[in-house]
Amino acid sequence: MALFTLGQMAYYAGWFLKSKVGVKRPLVLTMVVTYHCNLDCEHCLIHDNLENIPKPHSISYEDAVEEMRSFYEQGARILFFEGGEPTIWRDGDKNLSDLIRAGKQIGYYVTGYTTNGTNVMYDDSDVISVSLDGPREIHDKIRSPGVFDELMKNLESIEHPNIFANMVVNRTNIEYVEETVRLVADGGKIQGIMLNFLTPPPSEITLSLEEKKKVIELALDLKNKGLPILNTTKALEEMLIEDYESLCPHWMSAFVMPNGTKFYGCPFVGTESCKECGFDAVREYRLITKGSYSAITQMSKRFALSKQ
């Protein structure tokens, strides 16, 4: 094992032990670099409400680097870029690749980004998360015609050791969970899939608790059969706890929005959306802070140790 990886593991161990004695500092920084996107997905409320969101709608390069440095000094070591669609972010001649390089130069152990996969895909991050909501017909119904093929074409053009898919399960794609998981298993380019539930709004396509139970039963069965579901078993079970507010370790992550607003913890804390949280990540965070061996080993291997 490389020395830098041992150093990273030692840092995480120290962070974990400090958290147990009350020193609670964010470990993960998520930067929403832009609200702009080239798609208009059925479950996204940003695209049609952009005029009601405080400006600026994209962060400047200088401000982004300043926030990266600030949160690094506070203890963050994992850095993710999101949007909107982060691959369309620009500030003059700067693009997402420049932000990724800046994060690495500052010292972040892991950099990653989430993308719909229809634009350029930068291969200099440690993790790439692609949105995959079903097979071609269903994915395009949710995201826009032609998006599935564009995603698959772009995946073929990139060689990267750590690409995973995020599927947001809702009433449009609930019948296609197994097909989507097997699509990942057979495709070769995506190393695994993380299942999430839709955090409302929109409530009309949000699953009922009974529907969620059926999805979790299926997911556990597929995972037991060796299919590449990245959620840990315990986190899948805890996804049936919808109101996770009292359990969620909000302090473990921080968010910076395009206009510079900062959240120490999820931006949804205290809202109605928090009462029906569908994010798997917060379950994994809690399990990590509780010392879960499976969560620590499985999540660190994929998301917390440098790959490049």
Distance CA 108, CA 73 (A): 11
What pLDDT is recorded for position 25?
Answer: 94
**What local confidence, expressed as pLDDT, does residue 6 receive?**
87
pLDDT of residue 2: 55
pLDDT of residue 4: 62
Q: List, as one string, the DSSP characters of 188-247.
A: SS--EEEEEE--SSSGGGPPPHHHHHHHHHHHHHHHHTT--B-S-HHHHHHTT----TTT
- Mind listing the pLDDT tens digit of every residue in the chain (308 residues)? 455 688 999 999 999 999 999 999 999 999 999 999 999 898 887 877 788 888 999 999 999 999 999 999 999 999 999 999 999 999 999 999 999 999 999 999 999 999 999 999 999 999 999 999 999 999 999 999 999 999 999 999 999 999 999 999 999 999 999 999 999 999 989 999 999 999 988 899 999 999 999 999 999 999 999 999 999 999 999 999 999 999 999 999 999 999 999 998 888 888 888 889 999 999 999 999 999 999 999 998 888 888 65
Q: Is the pTM of this model over 0.85?
A: yes
Task: Give the start-to-end residue ranges of the domains of the chain.
Answer: 3-303
Query: What pLDDT is attached to residue 307?
Result: 67
96: closest CA among 54, 73, 128? 128
Q: In the chain, count H helices and then E strands.
A: 10, 8
The pLDDT assigned to 168 comes to 97
Which CATH superfamily, name and number, covers 3-303? Aldolase class I (3.20.20.70)
CB of 235 closer than 8 Å to CB of 280: yes
* pLDDT score, position 188: 87
